[in-house]
Amino acid sequence: MAYEGILLGMGNPLLDISAVVDEDFLKKYGIKLNDAILAEDKHLPMYEEMTKKYEVEFIAGGATQNSIRVAQWMLQIPGATSYMGCIGKDKFGEEMKKNSKLAGVNVHYYEDGTAPTGTCAVCVVGGERSLVANLSAANCYKSEHLKKPENWALVEKAKYFYIAGFFLTVSPESIQLFAEHAAAKNKVFMMNLSAPFICEFFRDVQEKALPYMDYVFGNETEARTFSKVHGWETDNVEEIALKISQWPKASGTHKRITVITQGADPVVVAEDGKLKKFPVILLPKEKLVDTNGAGDAFVGGFLSQLVQEKPIEECVRAGCYAANVIIQRSGCTYPEKPSFN
């Protein structure tokens, strides 16, 4: 099977500015632990304050880009994955390009001359992370870039598409182009619920893309928010996963599969009216560095097996393996080679 360009991702490429902070810092900026939000004006000074006050690390991030990089690392096949998104023409953007090339991902960035490369503050307290994203250039992605022949060629070549829900705030029309192409060509289109605010405030664009989704990923908090927004009156993650999987589909080629992670609790998979639960690899608290990128890594591991047409059990096992590696390191980083067998 030819793996070149088999998996294509599109999203917000962000440079993570990661630091272990304290409760007071979170309070000062009105940040909740384990949340992911877009920066408002009140948050803008925090990036500067973090770099002055704490020991920060700069790590190439952005949810979709993390998942694609992890899938690439797990596959160990050069050029198996591609990625698109928008960066600025600046040193952070150059850093991002260098980082992605080293990771073996074929990146086709749209470079915007008017805005700086997007950043994401990763505030870590007690190993738990909270994200505040200042999209900047990432917010400038245009579907015209996608339509250029050299970029659309990546779409034609790919058999699997993955987009984090965060991109719904940027270019729903690009998502629709991916989705409709996948449905027309019987390819696999996948998205992530990504954050409670996406389910709450971007409900319309999320619902427009949902019929095209062959796989829906998310965590328990996002699933419960989705349920609340749709008036389902249940907090039961298994019920919610089933309901999402039964949402009407645009194409009947693939039945929708919903995959919900729950931190240290089992992964819930809903498929064809049936539920499966898979335990995760438990990690002693002292080995936990931070949870930043854990969900992204899970998806990356999962996708690395899915594109090889492995059974769902193997996909989940690889997802759990990748997440376990990432939470023992700072940010979404990994050793040179995976030891997954």
Closest by CA position to 46, among listed 59, 64, 27: 27
Q: Which of 112, 214, 290, 296 is catalytic?
A: 296
Q: Where are the beta strands (DSSP E) in 76-115?
A: 81-88, 106-112
What pTM was estimated for this model as a whole? 0.93
Tens of pLDDT along the chain (341 residues)?
689 999 999 999 999 899 999 999 999 999 999 899 999 999 999 999 999 999 998 888 899 999 999 999 999 998 999 999 999 999 889 988 988 888 999 999 999 999 999 999 999 998 888 999 999 999 999 999 999 999 999 999 999 999 999 999 999 999 999 999 999 999 999 999 999 999 999 999 999 999 999 999 999 999 999 999 999 999 999 999 999 999 999 988 899 999 999 999 999 999 999 999 999 999 988 898 878 789 999 999 999 999 999 999 999 999 999 999 999 987 788 989 999 98
Beta strands at 128-134 and 119-125: parallel, antiparallel or unpaired: antiparallel
Distance of alpha carbon 210 from alpha carbon 14, whole angstroms: 25
> What pLDDT does 59 receive?
84
Number of residues in the chain: 341
Distance of alpha carbon 209 from alpha carbon 181, whole angstroms: 12
> What pLDDT does 1 receive?
61
Q: What share of the chain is helix, strand, coil (3-state, %, to 5)?
A: 45, 25, 35
Whether 296 is a known active-site residue: answer yes
Distance of alpha carbon 341 from alpha carbon 338, whole angstroms: 9
| φ, ψ dihedrals at 340, nearest 5° | -80, 135
What CA–CA distances, in Å, run from 312 to 136, 177, 180, 295? 37, 27, 25, 17
Closest by CA position to 325, among listed 311, 314, 336, 309: 336
